[in-house]
Chains A and B, each alone.
Chain A
Amino acid sequence: MKSKSLKQTLTIIAVVCAIGQGALYNGVIFNRWKADYAPKNGLSVGTGLDAQQYIFALSGFREMIAGILWVKADSFFDDGNYDAVLPLIRLVTLLDPKELDVYATGMWHIGYNFTDQDERSDRRYIPSALALGKEGIKNNPDTYEMYFETGWMWFNKIDDDYDQAVKYLQEASSKNDIEPARRNLLAQALIRDNKLDEALDLDSQLYDRAEELASSEGSYNNANNRDAVAGNWDNLIVRMAQRGDFAMKQGQKIYDAYPYDTKPPFDTQFSVKASVVEPRVLQIEGTYGVLSVGTRIRVDLRDSDYDADKAAELDWDGQSTVDLSPPKDRTFMQDQLYVKNRRFNKRIDMQQDPTMYPFVANNYVLEFFYNPRSAPEYIKDKFGFNGEGFTDSNFLNTTVRPGERCIYVKFNFTKDQLWRRGEWEDTVPTAQTKNFKEIAPTDSDKDVIFVPALRAGGK
């Protein structure tokens, strides 16, 4: 140092800089950085990244790594290598928890794309898909997208417990960035949840909003949405009138006085027989006296000790963290029985996919479930919004879904029966309802659809 004063100046500068940067960092910057820019918790726990990727990701290149992995995931997806896509989706969402498209695609992929050879969805993945949706919501609470995607999964894929769909879609609708037409789904969810007055109010609000948008901005999409909302609103009013919902609000007397479409309740005369025709192969046949096409009856086979409170479904919402491997020892098969000419007949082969149907438990429950809330509108024209025009002299159930009128039948099978072992090696294990009658198939079953009239009692 040439001069003492320079030395002093440098010392002062150094001290000021040292104290200043420390105070600035600890006093202000760290908390702001943590709240707005820091990697989320996922990166401090196991991510599946190797050491180089981990360091690279944390060094500020996590979005870049996420982008590369997402491109890689896309190529795996194109090749049909779905198993390889899952961990990549998980990694990308951990690296960049703000990338909504990966959450949305990930949910769809996990929830829809894992199937057996007959393209029957592996529904054991759905709790994971929902957990991913909930994580997406937690990381992106200010935008509508993950609320909407989660609501859509409840509405479309699970197609049950509609209050859950309503809950998420209400949240989505409350966000300003939601696309106007996407709000319409909430009204449909409210209808399935039997909240008709709320749906009516919502349609009215949606129409006002759509009309305003169409007038002020005038785009084709806005005009189209206005017309769609008007149609939905009209349909709901007409249906509520025809199905006697407005009359019921005025009292039972009014309802009784006029011939609404839901009267008298239609007896579906459900019957079913299930046989284990080969090891882990079920043949299911039965009758259902409803319109020739459009009716689907849910059938599921599950471990008998799994969550007895939940009939004909898994505990979809029971998982709070994303786990990409469903429980390997749990069996859960769910399918639809398509009714044609008031009969159904389906072979369900679970032999080819032992990872999806491990059959580890000793006892199983085979369930049949029909909820008119899920029916197409032309069937609900007779059955009503909540099954008021529907009954079954043998199997009507109002307890498995409190407040809802369903059909519910269950049979028990043992592991030996399903595997056709021991005493069942030469005997076909069969379970059937008391009212089941064998009906020989006819040639007309293949290509002729009979259309009965529901109003005349379905004769």
Chain B
Amino acid sequence: MRAIMAIAATTVGEAIRRKVLLIILLIGVLFLAVAPGLNTLSTQSETTVLKGMVLGIVQLTSAVIAIVLTVYMIPNEIERRTIYTIVSKPVQRWQFLIGKYLGAVGALGIMMLLMSLVMEITFFLQFQSGFKAEDALDLLRAPAMFFVQMSLLAAVAICFSTFVTPLVNFFLSGGLYLIGSLFAPFFDSLNQNSSTPMFAKLTARFVGVVLPNFSIYNVQNPIINPGQTIQNPTTYYMQVTGYGVLYIGLLLVLGIVILDRREV
């Protein structure tokens, strides 16, 4: 466990020193800071539009960071041959991969926390006394779920990074993120359409189970448009977090098996 934590801590340090990530983060933060410039609408719309925009910026920036952060992680270690100095020590490859993943998630968490902080400050400055502590907590529910979503995306990318080049991985992970987000609504449409053949429905269901489903973490709508009655949102958040943890576990095992068989 100490080895995993040591690798994770080193990975976090490396990640937050990477200029490309810092630039993406800076762009995200700048977008968050200028988002209130959209206050051209009525009071109600202003809040709705601002929440939608700000949460969208957090999610989009986090997705780019999650992919860019993880696609280089294993290949860079192999290319720079720093992996030799690690695996020659009493560190197993599975520990190395899990440490790297936890480090990536840690760095991602720090960056998302920073963005969430800027988001909260933006709202506080915009609405001042109208923005209460419960509003701040309510707003944080979305980034919390995005964090689980991005952790899953990072697991996808780190799994791919054990056997493909970073460029290919970038498109593969990005593509899977899109498909994983698109497929659930598509599957839903297929199910609703009575003319869909049974075989297509079954195939869609199978693919729905196999592919990671990212859309279940998009919980921002009730936060953006308050007044909706959602039964037991906390239970839902726990269920989707459980789903994420299980899927991440599956991807990490797959990554470990591939890395273990790979000639380094």
The number of chain B residues touching the other chain, given as a range, is 35 or more
Write the nearest CB–CB distance from B47 to chain A, whole angstroms: 10
Q: Which residues of A contact B40 (CB under 8 A)?
A: 71, 74-75
**A177 lies within 8 A of B224 (CB):** no
> From residue 236 to 263 of chain B, which have CB atoms closer than 8 A to chain A?
236, 239-240, 242-243, 246-247, 249-250, 253-254, 256-257, 260
Q: Which residues of A contact B59 (CB under 8 A)?
A: 60-61
**B185 lies within 8 A of A38 (CB):** yes
CA distance A380 to B162 in the complex (A): 83
Q: Is B189 an interface residue (CB 8 A)?
A: yes
Of the residues B53, B182, B227, B256, contact of A177 by C-beta under 8 Å: B227
Q: Which residues of B contact A58 (CB under 8 A)?
A: 181-182, 185, 215
Closest B residue, CB atoms, query A104:
B44
Binding site for A on B (CB under 8 A): 38, 40-42, 44-45, 48-53, 55-57, 59-60, 92, 94, 177-178, 181-182, 184-186, 188-189, 192, 205, 208-209, 213-222, 224-225, 227-231, 233, 236, 239-240, 242-243, 246-247, 249-250, 253-254, 256-257, 260
CA distance A143 to B249 in the complex (A): 42
How many of chain A's residues have a CB under 8 angstroms from any CB in B?
A: 54
Write the nearest CB–CB distance from B208 to chain A, whole angstroms: 7
Of the residues B52, B240, B250, contact of A14 by C-beta under 8 Å: B250
Q: Is A66 an interface residue (CB 8 A)?
A: yes
**B49 lies within 8 A of A70 (CB):** yes
Binding site for B on A (CB under 8 A): 1-2, 6, 10, 13-14, 16-18, 20-22, 24-26, 28-30, 32-34, 36-39, 41, 43-44, 55, 58-61, 63-68, 70-71, 74-75, 96, 98-102, 105, 140, 142-143, 177
CA distance A36 to B230 in the complex (A): 6
**B interface, over-half SS:** helix
Closest B residue, CB atoms, query A59:
B181
Question: How many residue-residue contacts, CB under 8 A, span A and B?
Answer: 168
**A interface, over-half SS:** helix
Q: Which residues of B contact A66 (CB under 8 A)?
A: 52
**A101 lies within 8 A of B45 (CB):** yes
**A96 lies within 8 A of B225 (CB):** yes
Write the nearest CB–CB distance from B87 to chain A, whole angstroms: 11
24 A-B pairs in the complex with CB atoms less than 8 angstroms apart:
A6-B92, A14-B253, A17-B250, A24-B239, A24-B246, A32-B239, A37-B219, A41-B192, A44-B185, A44-B189, A55-B182, A58-B182, A59-B177, A59-B182, A60-B218, A63-B51, A64-B53, A64-B55, A67-B56, A96-B221, A101-B42, A102-B45, A140-B227, A140-B228
**B181 lies within 8 A of A60 (CB):** yes
